[in-house]
Amino acid sequence: MTQQPNQTYIDLLEKIRSKTATIGVVGLGYVGLPLIRVFVESGFKTIGFDVDDGKVQQLLAGQSYIKHIESEWIASLIENGQFDPTSDMQRLAEPDAILVCVPTPLSPSRDPDLKYVEGTAREIAKNLRTGQLVVLESTTYPGTTRDVLCPILSESGLDIGQDFFVAYSPEREDPGNQDFSASRIPKVVGGMDAKSLELAEAMYAHAVVETIPVSTCEIAEACKILENTYRSVNIAMVNELKILFDHINIDIWETINAAKTKPFGFQAFYPGPGLGGHCIPIDPFYLSWVARLNGQSTRFIELAGEINSSMPDYVVHKVAEALNKSGKPIKNSKVGIFGVAYKRDVDDPRESPAFRLMELLNERGATLSYHDPFIPTLPKMRSFDVPALESNDLTEAYLTSLDCLLICTDHSGVDWQFVVDHSNIVVDTRNACSGTIDNDGKVYTA
């Protein structure tokens, strides 16, 4: 007997292909808002969901809170009805596709904390209707879509693959990257079944340069973990070499620059004061957690995590050494942090090592301040005890008032010679001052 085609699937596929489908995005942060942008630019109507009503009200007023998303663009979308931000989760019944872009942090014991994914899934389940596609984009461990998301969605009483469809496609957003905006990054897609995969692939094909279909959601989930574990392990290696080379008087930066002239078999990674951003400091531990569940060990991942997590302690030790050479302890010294964003030229502070450095310096009695043109006020952080500070202007008066300037983030467009000339001590974790003249020996690398 010939199986009848699934009319629900056929109707949704036609909506997607004709761009009459409405795209809903849950989580309007550094991943969700750029995702809204690529679908709007592809011709779709969008609804944005966020539990933070403050964000929603900002967006409704035409105000962007992300540097590379312009307020004028937000205002124009609101005006012409292409983007409808809301904190009303009952409206999750409206979009034809729901893309979940919520945080997936670690617990204090470095176990996956899926409370945001689970909470969002419950809200979707309460409002789920026939003919919707749900795609999880949040980075997580292999098996999350099948074992966590799908059982919650099934509480709706609807059947996956018949009444609604489920896929996983890991976000690959790189805030501030001018060469690879969201639309220019290939999208890996895995579906819970063949129909879910085809629907998700058809949807993303409108919005991104290329889709990469894989056989299961688990492959797509593992893909993102592999990408970030690769970076974590290699960054840990150069961080370890930085400490060794500093001890034996070898310049790690010049060494890397020499090594990267090899046209094959080498990719340059650079040391720093610790890992930042939502992905690289967190994602590898999702994989090590899965390994423990299955009685396996992930020694490279654990070791890389230990090395990268220890870098702020190493940097504070270098600050202490630099101050000691001027006859000063850290206690009561005025230490300015240059850059609290997790990387150059972004307004994204997530997991920035600057906050751990502030905690350590504060514990040792330093008087702290900071400069970051992209982050005018220190935000509250989930993982760190952050002081209430506002950014100082980078003036001669500010620099001369400090006992030590600690460079954590090397934002571009900075006159580093001016910084060196007017600072008493500079501890540089990013090689920012490499081209400056330092006749007085003020600059220390860390």
What pLDDT was estimated at residue 2? Answer: 41
pLDDT-based confidence at residue 235 (cuts at 50, 70, 90): very high
- Residue pair 337/408 in contact by the 8 Å Cβ criterion: yes
Contacts of 322 (CB under 8 A, 6+ apart): 404, 425, 427, 444
Q: Which domains does the chain have, with CATH numbers?
A: 7-215 (3.40.50.720), 239-445 (3.40.50.720)
Active site residues: 279
pTM: 0.90
d(CA 428, CA 418): 14
How much of the chain exceeds pLDDT 70, in percent? 97
DSSP string, 184-210: GS-EEEEESSHHHHHHHHHHHHHHSS-
Average pLDDT for the chain = 93
pLDDT tens, residue by residue, 188-214: 999 999 999 999 999 999 999 999 999
d(CA 438, CA 434): 9
Lowest-pLDDT range of 18-27, 323-332, 377-386 = 377-386
